Amino acid sequence: MKGGLMMLWMVALAAVATAAERAEDFPAALEKAKKGGQDVAVLFHGSDWCQAGKKYADHWKAEGFPAAAGDELLILDIDRKESPDAADEKLAKRNEACVVKPRSLPAIALFDREGRLVALREGTPELDTLGKPEQVIQKAVELRKKRDDLWKKAEGARGPQRAGMLAAGLDLLGLDTGPKNAYQPVVKQMQEADPEDRSGGIARYTFPGRKLLDDAVDQGKAGKFKEADEEIGGWLKKPQLSKAQRQEALAARFALYQRWPEKKTELPALLKEINKLDPKSDLGEAANSYLAILAKEK
């Protein structure tokens, strides 16, 4: 009898040990994660206005969800109410520490033990393709593990090989340097290991993005056309840039050439190049629309 009770107690203890733990708010979750090494999974929803998020919230808050979500995990829901009461407002204030503000609800995010975003899945169209909330979390955890495996291997490497492995870990996430540049220290490690960027990974994570276009406009207004064009051309010579980054660089050149009388004849060719890189992207579609406008003006 005693042996049977002991076995039941051990089974119950194992069930508790492999279940996720609920957190009250984001700062509390992050504090626990840093001490215990867990990931933090967050459901964002709006219980008093977002009907699409109700099924996710109900599932998330169910008694059996922690066990389904997995071990070494902290779970939290952030309810973005339109009509919060005093207690809701206090909780929302504490949750402002979460740097991620999804554009579409419901959303599920995973953060690592350092509070860095690992994955963000937004809106029911995306979430529904990924399965139940626990499956969304588990896929994100696997992504984080693959990232960490690459970075673990990078510890034993040097030079371009080390930089390449660090970049590959970031590439898996697809978050650039993350909210608040949380992954900037990783980019710094890449630069220290491979100052000449022989691995090709550093260019992708130091590309100035929209700032390149803003600078091109400012320099164009100041008549510094050649200086701006040389800077843009330097980025376009880097084969490591993503298609989206190459489109942004070409968009910066387009903005510059609009102000450069000698280069206005090259505008259609730039638009075609932007569109060809990715016709379905926002920049690709915008370039195609602008081509139509230029055609009418002739």
Q: How many residues does the chain have?
A: 298
DSSP 42-66: EEEE-TTT-GGGHHHHHHHHSTTHH
pLDDT at 4 (0 to 100) = 56
Superfamily of domain 16-137: Glutaredoxin (3.40.30.10)
Residue labelled with tokens 């602008």: 290
Three-state secondary structure readout of 87-142 = HHHHHHHHHHHCCCCCCCCCEEEEECCCCCEEEEEEHHHHHHHHCCHHHHHHHHHH
pLDDT at 6 (0 to 100) = 53
Residue labelled with tokens 């009250």: 24
- Identify whether the C-beta of residue 239 lies closer than 8 Å to the C-beta of residue 197: no
Gap between the Cα atoms of 81 and 176, Å rounded:
30
Token code pair at residue 229: 């064009």
- Identify whether the C-beta of residue 264 lies closer than 8 Å to the C-beta of residue 278: no
Per-residue pLDDT of the chain (298 residues; tens, 9 = 90+): 455 555 554 444 444 447 899 999 999 999 999 999 999 999 999 999 999 999 999 999 999 999 999 889 999 999 999 999 999 999 999 999 999 999 999 999 999 999 999 999 999 999 999 999 999 999 999 999 999 999 999 999 999 999 999 999 999 999 999 999 999 999 999 999 999 999 989 999 999 999 999 999 999 999 999 999 999 999 999 988 999 999 999 999 999 999 999 999 999 999 999 999 999 999 999 999 999 988 887 6
The pTM of the full predicted model, rounded to 2 decimals, is: 0.84
C-alpha distances in Å from residue 277, one per residue of 48, 236, 258: 42, 13, 21
Domain boundaries, the chain: 16-137, 155-203, 210-297
Gap between the Cα atoms of 201 and 166, Å rounded:
8
pLDDT at 19 (0 to 100) = 87
pLDDT at 18 (0 to 100) = 73
Residue labelled with tokens 């959303």: 107
